[in-house]
Structure 1
Amino acid sequence: MKAYFKPFLAIFLILLADQVLKFWIKLNMSLGQEFHILGDWFIIHFTENNGMAFGMEFGGETGKLALTLFRIVAVSAIGYGVVHLVKHKYHRGLILNVALIFAGAMGNIIDSTFYGMIFSESTYFQPARLFPVEGGYSSLFHGKVVDMFYFPIIDGTIPQWSPIWSGENFVFFRPVFNIADAAISIGVIAILIFQKAYFKEEKQENIYPHNEIIEE
């Protein structure tokens, strides 16, 4: 059980931080409201999306339902993967990063599955209410994902000499995201960067099994 402690603790802390912040945003901020943390470079900007990570949309109500159900299946598979990796003693870094991906996926599933039932609609004039008497703003599996982190580090205009999008406004980083999105991104990027180290031991075991006698 000791091997499960760190990845499960990471999952718990990420989910806790993600949901506490989302609840605070929903109950205290109206849509579009923002707070500047570091000038114009780091902004808490409340927005919601019906689709995927970083505010991307996906196919209306039917697409929303399909995406939520797909997320549930995917996160179940990822959760099984975490247990499998721990059980078979894979690299600790790989286990931790898969745990980050699991926690991030679970965080957004909570929004899209339950938020429509427990919150009133967030508007541009007032925050939402928790467990409103008249019921939530939507049904099971049709909630909106809460996003708030906005980093418009570079805000300018694309030069006129550019062969594409010349003269158009350019913002980096434009997408608004949440803790769950960040956890997924960190986990995926870390696995891609350190994959050789993560899978080196496994490859070595496949080449030279412990019970195999190597003859010269």
Structure 2
Amino acid sequence: MRYYILALIVIIFDQATKWMIVYSMDLHDQIELIPGFLFFTSHRNSGAAWGILEGQMWLFYIVTVIVIAGIVYYMNQMKDESPFLLMGFGLVLGGAIGNFIDRIFLQEVIDFIDVIIFGYDFPIFNIADAALSVGVVLLIIMILIDEWNNKGVNSDE
């Protein structure tokens, strides 16, 4: 249950920050938070990361519903597994739903976190995107650890 609460916290934080951006900044306005590194930039995206598949909302609807259903299924099946695995699922679930809300009601996603890393202007993202990314990294790490542990067990035979 606590990992569904984590997902809910991500959704609330994501939607609240997007609401603050929409109501306090005009589209393309920018606020510098850390000089030369971190900005809030009001941006909209009708595609996926880096604008991939722009305008293909029907595809995002289908994929998101499948992802959400799969995550809920696995969270219920693996409720006694590692807390890090379930935390990864909770973060991915919250991020997926956060961006899904935008796509349903706005037909685009509100992005605003703008980072420049070593001169590279990273694509603008939001809290849902960050939760998705961290959640996927956690899931990958936990899968790799599980594989490593299973190979260690199987190699002793």
Tell me the TM-score normalised to structure 1 length. Answer: 0.64
Shift, 1:9, TM fit: 2.0
> Residue 36 of structure 1 aligns with which residue?
32
Shift, 1:15, TM fit: 0.7
When structure 1 is superposed on structure 2, of 186-195 and 173-182 the one drifting more is 186-195
Question: Which SS does the other structure have where 2:39 is aligned?
Answer: strand
Shift, 1:103, TM fit: 0.8
Match status 1:85 vs 2:49 = no
**What are structure 2's unaligned runs of at least 5 residues?**
none
Alpha-carbon RMSD? 2.2
Shift, 1:182, TM fit: 0.6
Aligned residue runs from structure 1 range 12-161, under 5 A: 12-53=8-49, 55-58=50-53, 60=55, 63-86=56-79, 89-114=80-105, 116=106, 143-155=107-119
One-letter amino acid of the counterpart of residue 26, structure 2 = S
Shift, 1:147, TM fit: 0.4
Alpha-carbon contact 1:93-1:198 (below 8 Å) kept: no
Alpha-carbon contact 2:48-2:54 (below 8 Å) kept: no
Q: Distance in 1 between matches of 2:30 and 2:57?
A: 26
**What are structure 1's unaligned runs of at least 5 residues?**
117-142, 156-170, 208-216
Structure that is richer in helix per residue = 2
Alpha-carbon contact 2:85-2:139 (below 8 Å) kept: yes
One-letter amino acid of the counterpart of residue 103, structure 1 = G
Taking CA–CA contacts closer than 8 Å with sequence separation of 6 or more, which of the two structures ends up with the larger relative contact order?
Answer: 2
Q: Distance in 1 between matches of 2:59 and 2:68?
A: 14
Q: Distance in 2 between matches of 1:185 and 1:192?
A: 11
Give 1:186's match in structure 2, choosing from 130, 134, 138. Answer: 134
Poorly superposed stretches of 4+, deviation over 4 Å? 198-201
